[in-house]
């Protein structure tokens, strides 16, 4: 398994797909990197030479914010939104959708498992 930027990428997959296993590199960036190195995007990752792997790693280090540094950067951006108390920060703080999605019937991913609230539905008042 070639190791690029501290991430083991799968040998048995095509290089352009294998590079997307690195957090912060998607399909477009992976193909752009391979074009710059001059590697065929359809070759398997296990077939890369050490030189090609090191060139790919150099380009990623030079041009891309990836893995831990990217995660830290995103966390800092969210923390800043929370601290200044803007609408998006409040939504992050409450664990609700941030980008204007409906919440009455959906948003289970953000809100988590349903929490049942005891109501008046089943209670019948006795009159005598």
pTM, two decimal places: 0.76
How far is residue 12's CA from residue 85's CA, in Å, rounded to a whole number?
A: 47
CA distance 67 to 80: 20
* pLDDT value for 60: 93
Is the Cβ–Cβ distance between 42 and 17 less than 8 Å?
no
In a domain, 34, yes or no: yes
In a domain, 120, yes or no: no
Residue 109 confidence (pLDDT) above 60: yes
pLDDT for 127: 67
Q: How far is CA 94 from CA 50, 114, 116, in A?
A: 48, 15, 18
Residue 15 predicted with pLDDT over 90: yes
Domain interval for residue 16 = 3-64
Average pLDDT over the chain, rounded to whole? 90
How does residue 93 score in pLDDT terms, banded at 50, 70 and 90?
Answer: very high
| 4 backbone dihedrals φ, ψ, rounded to 5° | -120, 125
Q: Identify whether 82 is part of a domain.
A: yes
Is 118 within a domain? no
Residue 77 has pLDDT above 90, yes or no: yes
Number of domains observed in the structure of the chain: 2
12, 60: one domain = yes
Residue 57 has a pLDDT of 92
pLDDT band, very low/low/confident/very high, at 54 (cuts 50, 70, 90): very high
Over 90: is that where the pLDDT of 16 sits? Answer: yes
Please indicate, yes or no, whether residues 8 and 50 belong to a single structural domain of this protein: yes
Query: What's the CA gap between 21 and 45, in Å, rounded?
Result: 12
Q: Show Cβ contacts of residue 90 under 8 Å, excluding neighbours closer than 6 positions.
A: 82
Distance from the Cα of residue 128 to its chain's centroid: 62
Q: Over the stretch 22-53, which tens digit does the pLDDT of each residue have?
A: 999 999 999 999 999 999 999 999 999 999 99
Give the integer Cα–Cα distance in Å for 67 and 61.
Answer: 11
Q: Above pLDDT 90, what percent of the chain? A: 74
On whether both 74 and 23 belong to a single domain, the answer is no
């Amino acid at each position: 398994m070639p190791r690029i930027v501290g991430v083991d990428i799968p040998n048995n997959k095509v290089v352009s797909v294998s590079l997307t296993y690195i957090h912060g590199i998607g399909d477009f960036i992976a193909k752009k990197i391979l074009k710059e190195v001059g590697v065929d995007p359809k070759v398997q990752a296990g077939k890369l030479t050490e030189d090609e792997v090191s060139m790919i790693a150099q380009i990623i280090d030079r041009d891309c914010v990836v893995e831990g540094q990217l995660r830290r950067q995103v966390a800092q951006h969210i923390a800043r939104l929370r601290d200044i108390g803007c609408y998006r920060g409040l939504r992050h703080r409450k664990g609700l959708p941030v980008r204007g999605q409906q919440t009455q019937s959906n948003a289970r991913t953000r809100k988590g498992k349903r929490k049942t609230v005891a109501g008046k539905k089943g209670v019948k008042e006795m009159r005598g």
